[in-house]
Amino acid sequence: MSAILRLEGVHTNIAQYQVLHGVSLDVPEGGVHVILGRNGAGKTTTLRTIMGLWKARLGTIQFRGQDIAQLGTPDIARLGIAFVPENMGIFGGLTVEENMRLATHDGSFDTERLARIHAIFPAIKQFWAKPAHALSGGQKQMLAVSRAIIEKRDLILIDEPTKGLAPSIIRNMIVAFREIAEETTILLVEQNFHFAKALGQTVAVIDDGRIVHRGSMTELVEDAGLQSRFLSLSLEAH
Amino acid sequence: MSDTSIPFRTRMSAGIDRFGGVMLLPVVLAFIAFVLIGQPSTWATLTIAGLAMGMMIFLMASGLSLIFGLMDVLNFGHSAFVTAGAFIGATVLAWLGFWVTGGNPALNLAGLLLAIAAATIFGALAGWFFERVVIKPVYQDHLRQILITVGALIVAEELILLIWGGAPIPVPRPAVLTGSIVFAGVSVEIYRIFAFLLGLVVYVAMYLVLNRTRLGLLIRAGVENREMVEALGFRIDRLFILVFMAGSALAAMGGAMWAGYQGLITAALGSEMMILVFIVVIIGGLGSIQGSLLGALLVGLMANYVAFLVPKMALASNMLLMMAILLWRPYGLLPAVKR
Amino acid sequence: MSMARNSSALASKSLRGSAISATWPGRLVVYGAVALIGLALALAPFLFPDVRSQEVAARICVFIVLVASYDLLIGYTGIVSFAHTMFFGLGAYGTAIALKTMGPGFEAILLGGGLGVVAALVLALLIGLLSLRVKAIFFAMVTLSAASVMMVLASQLSDFTGGEDGITYSIPRLFSPAFELLSDAEGKAVRLFGVPLNGKIALYYFVFISALVLFLAMMRIVASPLGSVLKAIRENELRAEAIGYRVVFYRTTIFCIAAGIAACAGILRAVWLKYTGPDVVLSFDIMIDILLMVVIGGMGTMLGAVIGVVLMTLAQYYLKDLMALGAEATGSLPLVPDLLYPERWLLWLGLGFILLVYFFPSGIVGTLLGKGGQK
């Protein structure tokens, strides 16, 4: 499998605090790949560094072989990388439609894609003309994900999509993500192991700004020893 | 506000919203004033004066509010654009001489529009310079931003003093807009009608750009969350320059209009207006032009009514209005960002 | 939005410079200069007995208190307020009105000044609770509006405040030049180093010692636990809140303290000048002066207030003379004399200020000590 995204020795500082101490990671093309880790381990920082929202101080980030570590966020986005931040980044004062329209490159929708999104997330269709701040937490998350897939992207970065969602909504999300992963690559940051287990093909565990384990999800699921070693560490917050 | 707001409040505000919500406030204010003043013709004159003043303040405030909302930059130098606009407008009017003061209404109007255009264009250019040179290096750093813009304000005011001097300068008013018309027993200054209409045109234009164009969509989104706009692939810095230029141009336009309204201007004009402008931006809510319009009309009406009823309280009344509104809605009446 | 707020807090942190340890020469210069200034102020009546120098020295004493109290806000807490002259003015006007109506006595200073301080505290509490929970910029606007209204009120309530003309009044006899602290056999004031020990000296030392006490109190505050909490909030508001600090409470507290101290400085100013008017205590120019002084000296360093005030005040009093000379000397050239005209000195100050904020955001003291924060 070729890697669509490759991080090598990425160091990121936020002010004088060093948050990432050399993250190295390969994200294979296609499927869902998960970064697990406890609060403050550097998960969000990793995604934000890839997106260029925080600049890597050291190390390289290659997307399809091109170094993007020093590009600006808009340029990174235009390479075909979408980002669903932890707070979902919904524009509450805009309608659902306007939120979606903003995510298209020229303001027009591919009707076939839109229909598919409406089928995956009926709430998007239902609240199409409503202001987004009126949506529930789960619906906002659906909007954030829909916005990321309104045009074909090569890579979608998603930060803790299950945070604060009800189990029934999480089950819907799993189905949706499986469908989305058929045409694109998803890099998912999670604390919820059950969600990660249901979706992930590969998994990386991050702790204290370093990747401490990399492997396939099946390996981690089957090996109780690995789980107790890394998941007590990654999931102690739950 | 959180999702767990008190049901009673929700019901109450839903009830108010059904009748136009906070947009009704100017109407309520006008009604109270009507009762207190008692003479319909005086009340009508004051109301029109208040609306005209409100519209001119709106010109100055809307740009500041948008810049503030989109870039999180409070430009204390904004008042320098207002002052510069006033002086450039006055200078151009004086240059055009007979165009403005002569008997030909078309030339009168052309002269005035030229003066306003000159001020506006200057505002846009100065805004471009300001954004690039003064503010760009200190984005994201509020403390230094405030300091730098205050420093820039000092320099700009000194430059204005250097060029135009400290003495008051008379502003020729176009002949066609001089005097009043009497309608149903109410005497109305023509210039006020013109000011009101110009403000209205600008408001409608801004409203259409913000709500009907992709650029407007981007600006509204940027006001809420700059980072996400960038993560969607848009260069927000280009948006910043554009909005900054537009905001500065509007400030200069408002300054030029205000100069014509006052008839006599000094270099302190901008800083005097700025207090009202700040109050408007605060009570209207950051980053929303509807809020700016609402705030400006409230402040304009309040200033005129109170100046008639209790002259000494004119400015203090607006301050009290601001305090009351902050107590009621800490983020202003119509903030752009829904919480 | 939380990320944006976070990163802006972080950005403002980075301006305070990296935590390079203080360099010895820098320290020596700063502490030496401050010690020298302290000494000069303590002996000012004897070192510089002329009237103008006395005025300069007293103004420096009062402004050190005023600017240091402002530094509590802008430097130590990251609050930008434009209402500091309002509090200064409340103290001054309270004293002035009491002295005018009750006659020149210490009870008038105590009562009037006390009421002024209380008014400042109440107003600060109101403004703080009302608007310190929102963004820094927002607070700057609210305080600016409040200060402007106070300015208008002071000029409009002329029955009370003397309007634009202000109030002149007498001060206790102990402080008048005619009063002799020590008299010799001939009934004349005893001279020390050729300077008569009269009420004027007593007045100066009243101002100097009060200012010194207030300044030391502020040094104590920034070294106290309250000081560390404020610093934590300034560095990272969200984290401080997460740890459990009630941010609004602490900010309001320091805002009230700074307001109270500014009002005390106002009392000193009123007593020294025997005159209180909008120009000397309320005007926006004074607010700008305070801002310039604190930034030039160095935000978040109490000693910066001392250096900033001394430099600015000396410049205000003596640089203008120089500029006048320059304007005369270049009188034949176009434009140059206009630029050198003493009234234009603010232009140069403004430009210098902008450059300073760009290149030396931690001010003179901060730069010399190699850091911006407290020692």
End-to-end Cα separation, chain B, in angstroms? 5
Count of CB atoms within 10 A of residue A217's CB?
20
What tens digit of pLDDT does each residue of B56-71 get?
A: 999 999 989 988 888 8
Which chain C residues in 263-292 lie under 8 Å from chain B, judged by CB atoms?
A: 284, 288, 291
Residue of chain C whose alpha carbon sits nearest to that of A92 = C1
Task: Report how far apart, in Å, the C-alpha atoms of B337 and of each of A90, B70, B223, B225 are.
Answer: 11, 11, 7, 9
Q: Range with the lowest mean pLDDT among B302-306, C29-33, C208-212?
A: C29-33
Do the domain assignments include residue B4?
no
pLDDT of C136 higher than 90? no
Confidence of residue B1 (pLDDT cuts 50, 70, 90): very low
**C neighbour chains, 3+ CB pairs within 8 Å:** A, B
Do the domain assignments include residue B338?
no
Q: Decide: C67 and C294 in contact? Cβ < 8 Å.
A: yes
Model-wide pTM > 0.90 = no
**Cα–chain-centroid distance for residue C38?**
16
Q: Decide: C74 and C68 in contact? Cβ < 8 Å.
A: no
Percent pLDDT > 70 in chain C is 84
Count of CB atoms within 10 A of residue C210's CB?
18
- Measure the CA–CA gap between C258 and C75, rounded to whole angstroms: 12
CA of A15 vs chain C CAs: smallest distance (Å): 6
Task: Report how far apart, in Å, the C-alpha atoms of B256 and of each of B74, B78, B188, B245 are.
Answer: 22, 14, 21, 16
End-to-end Cα separation, chain C, in angstroms? 33
What tens digit of pLDDT does each residue of C144-190 get?
A: 888 888 888 888 888 888 888 888 888 887 887 777 776 776 766 67
- Measure the CA–CA gap between B69 and B79, rounded to whole angstroms: 17
How high is the pLDDT of residue B201? 95
CA of A107 vs chain B CAs: smallest distance (Å): 7
CA of B228 vs chain A CAs: smallest distance (Å): 6
Domain count, chain B: 1
Do the domain assignments include residue B52?
yes
- Which chain A residues touch C234 with a CB distance below 8 Å? none
Tokens of residue B294, six digits: 């609402």
How high is the pLDDT of residue B268? 87
- Measure the CA–CA gap between B298 and B282, rounded to whole angstroms: 12
Which CATH number fits the domain that encloses residue B102? 1.10.3470
Which residue has better confidence, C73 or C137? C73
What's the mean pLDDT when you consider all of chain B? 87
Do the domain assignments include residue B123?
yes
Q: Range with the lowest mean pLDDT among B291-295, C265-269, C359-363?
A: C359-363
How high is the pLDDT of residue A1? 52
- Measure the CA–CA gap between B237 and B227, rounded to whole angstroms: 11
- Measure the CA–CA gap between A21 and A15, rounded to whole angstroms: 14
Percent pLDDT > 90 in chain B is 46
Segment B12-20 shows an average pLDDT of: 59
Q: What one-character DSSP code corresponds to residue B174?
A: P
What tens digit of pLDDT does each residue of A122-138 get?
A: 999 999 999 999 999 88
- Measure the CA–CA gap between A119 and A111, rounded to whole angstroms: 12
Segment B176-192 shows an average pLDDT of: 84
For chain A, domain boundaries? 3-234
- Which chain A residues touch B337 with a CB distance below 8 Å? 92-93
Percent pLDDT > 70 in chain B is 93
Do the domain assignments include residue B9?
no
**Cα–chain-centroid distance for residue C102?**
28
ipTM of model: 0.90
Which residue has better confidence, B1 or C265? C265
Is the Cβ pair C14, A16 closer than 8 Å? yes
From C168, C167, C186, C189, select the one nearest C178 (Cα to Cα): C189
Indicate the angle between helix axes B78-96 and B40-71, nearest 10 degrees: 120
Q: Decide: B172 and B100 in contact? Cβ < 8 Å.
A: yes
Do the domain assignments include residue B71?
yes
Segment A49-60 shows an average pLDDT of: 92
Segment B7-32 shows an average pLDDT of: 71
> Which class does domain A3-234 fall in?
alpha beta
Is the Cβ pair C10, A14 closer than 8 Å? yes
pLDDT of C273 higher than 70? yes
- Domain interval for residue B252: 25-328
DSSP alpha helix (H) spans, B213-335: 214-224, 226-231, 236-262, 269-284, 289-309, 314-328
Segment B241-265 shows an average pLDDT of: 93
Do the domain assignments include residue B2?
no
CA of C238 vs chain B CAs: smallest distance (Å): 16
What tens digit of pLDDT does each residue of A146-165 get?
A: 999 999 999 999 999 988 88
Segment C37-62 shows an average pLDDT of: 88
Which residue has better confidence, B93 or C22? B93
What tens digit of pLDDT does each residue of C230-252 get?
A: 888 887 776 777 776 788 888 89
Q: What is the CATH number of domain C25-368?
A: 1.10.3470
Do the domain assignments include residue B333?
no
- Measure the CA–CA gap between C291 and C278, rounded to whole angstroms: 18
Which residue has better confidence, A14 or B107? B107
User: Shortest CB distance from C13 goes to which of A15, A48, A53?
Assistant: A15
Beta pairing partners, A215: A203
- Measure the CA–CA gap between C269 and C91, rounded to whole angstroms: 9
Beta pairing partners, A25: A7
From B286, B319, B326, select the one nearest B63 (Cα to Cα): B286
Which chain C residues in 149-168 lie under 8 Å from chain B, judged by CB atoms?
A: 149, 152-153, 156-157
User: Shortest CB distance from C141 goes to which of B134, B143, B281?
Assistant: B281
Segment C82-93 shows an average pLDDT of: 93
Beta pairing partners, C196: C191
Element (H, E) at A62: strand A56-63
How high is the pLDDT of residue B299? 94
What tens digit of pLDDT does each residue of B271-307 get?
A: 888 888 988 998 998 888 999 999 999 999 999 999 9
- Tell me, yes or no, if B129 comes closer than 8 A to chain C by beta carbon: no
Residue C122's Cβ-side half-sphere holds a number of Cα atoms within 13 Å equal to 8
